[in-house]
């Protein structure tokens, strides 16, 4: 029995000592002079946390009274003040999601200038959030929980933040100037021939390179002959010449749908000659790009 009385007396002494410590700390913090480096937000936070400390002391909640008093002291000394991390409290599961969202929003506003632009409301918002969290952890005084939460919800609407700079409109890229279509390529043929020489094949390859660069919608392939021979024969010969050049282009990679062939025989001569005359400049196929 004596042992039990000793334990009870020891516990009572511990509570009394803690109570005295909290009273001493609250008195000490109440009379603190603000550090030179403290700002308006921190000085207002000191006032708000002192009110919370005294309220908890009045309810004999010594641990929370000490917590709020120490936070008031930190504010007076010019230290960084932020809402208490939720991991430091045991918050009921049903309230965690809402509180986490509100805490993230509050921290974001503090970082974006609320401390400087609205120091009083910012200090009260931080203190009331901590009050809400402390009461929610205890979860036995619904009216206190509601009061802290309501005070937080009212004051958070007064917080001002720096407006985010409007993103500069992206400069519209000017479309690259369209390359002009090249002059028609002219592929020449030997007398009565549809064979493409190596020298003339170079022109066809250059035409293909230009096709890839300039992307024409159509390539006109026109076959011609000189006046040697009869007209009907020359018309057929010019068709074969146009087909030969078209096939070479398609073998290089020009789509068939882009190629448009035509035959002209001995009509539209480059060099005017009489009938039945051989002329190398008239034995040709022209490659013309159409945009």
- 155-171 burial by CB neighbour count: b if 16+ within 10 A, else e? bbeebebeeeeeeeeee
Question: Residue 2 pLDDT more than 60?
Answer: no
At residue 185, the pLDDT reads 95
- The pLDDT-based confidence of 177 (bands split at 50, 70, 90) is confident
On whether residue 267 sits in a domain, the answer given is yes
Query: pLDDT band for position 169 (50/70/90)?
Result: confident
Q: Is 141 part of a structural domain of the chain?
A: yes
- Shared domain for 152 and 36, answered yes or no, is yes
Same domain membership, residue 145 and residue 192: no
Residues 43 and 149 in one domain: yes
Please report the pLDDT score of residue 179 as a whole number: 82
**Residues 223 and 147 placed together within one structural domain of the fold:** no
Structure confidence by residue, pLDDT tens digits, 126-143: 999 999 999 999 999 999
What is the per-residue pLDDT across 228-253, written as a single tens digit (0 to 9) for each? 989 999 999 999 999 999 999 999 99
Whether residues 29 and 148 share a domain: the answer is: yes
Q: Please say if the pLDDT value at position 67 is more than 80.
A: yes
- The pLDDT assigned to 138 comes to 93
Provide the 10 A C-beta neighbour count for residue 19. 14
CATH assignment of the domain containing 263: 3.30.1330.60
Any domain includes 142: yes
Does the pLDDT at position 286 exceed 60?
Answer: yes
Percent of the chain with pLDDT over 90: 72
Number of domains in the chain: 2
Q: Is residue 168 part of a domain?
A: no
Residue 123 falls inside a structural domain: yes
DSSP E strand boundaries for 169-232: 185-188, 218-223
Examine the domain organization and report whether 128 and 195 are in the same domain: no
172 in any annotated domain: no
pLDDT at 21: 56
SS3 220: strand
Residue 60 has pLDDT above 70, yes or no: yes
| Domain endpoint, select from 100, 135, 156 | 156
Q: Please check whether residues 104 and 200 belong to one and the same domain.
A: no
Q: Are 30 and 143 members of one domain?
A: yes
Q: What SS3 class is residue 286?
A: strand
Q: Is the pLDDT of residue 13 over 80?
A: no
One domain, residues 58 and 112: yes
- Distance (Å, whole) CA 47 – CA 124: 9
User: Does residue 200 sit within a domain?
Assistant: yes
The strand order across the sheet containing 284-290 reads 185-188, 284-290, 218-223, 259-263
Structure confidence by residue, pLDDT tens digits, 179-223: 888 899 999 999 999 999 999 999 999 999 999 988 999 999 999
The whole domain housing 282 covers 185-290
pTM of the model as a whole: 0.53
């Amino acid at each position: 029995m004596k042992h039990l009385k000793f334990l009870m007396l020891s516990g009572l002494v511990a509570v009394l000592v803690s109570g005295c410590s909290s009273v001493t700390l609250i008195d000490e913090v109440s009379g603190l002079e603000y550090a030179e480096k403290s700002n308006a937000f921190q000085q207002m936070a000191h006032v708000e946390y002192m009110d919370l400390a005294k309220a908890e002391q009045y309810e004999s909640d010594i641990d929370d009274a000490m917590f709020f008093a120490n936070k008031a002291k930190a504010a007076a000394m010019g230290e960084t003040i932020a809402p208490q991390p939720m991991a430091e409290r045991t918050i009921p599961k049903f309230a965690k999601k809402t509180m986490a969202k509100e805490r993230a929003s509050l921290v974001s506003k503090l970082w974006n200038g609320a401390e400087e632009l609205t120091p009083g409301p910012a200090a009260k918002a931080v203190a009331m959030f901590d009050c809400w969290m402390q009461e929610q952890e205890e979860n036995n005084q619904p009216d206190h929980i509601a009061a802290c939460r309501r005070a937080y919800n009212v004051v958070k609407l007064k917080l001002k933040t720096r407006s985010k700079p409007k993103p500069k409109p992206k400069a519209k890229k000017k479309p690259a100037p369209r390359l002009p279509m090249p002059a028609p390529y002219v592929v020449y043929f030997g007398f009565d021939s549809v064979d493409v020489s190596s020298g003339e094949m170079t022109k066809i390859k250059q035409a293909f390179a230009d096709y890839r660069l300039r992307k024409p919608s159509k390539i006109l392939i026109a076959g011609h002959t000189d006046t040697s021979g009869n007209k009907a024969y020359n018309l057929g010969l010019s068709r074969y010449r146009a087909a030969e050049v078209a096939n070479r282009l398609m073998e290089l990679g020009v789509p068939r749908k882009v190629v448009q062939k035509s035959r002209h025989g001995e009509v539209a001569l480059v060099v005017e000659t009489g009938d039945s005359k051989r002329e190398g400049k008239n034995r040709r196929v022209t490659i013309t790009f159409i945009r």
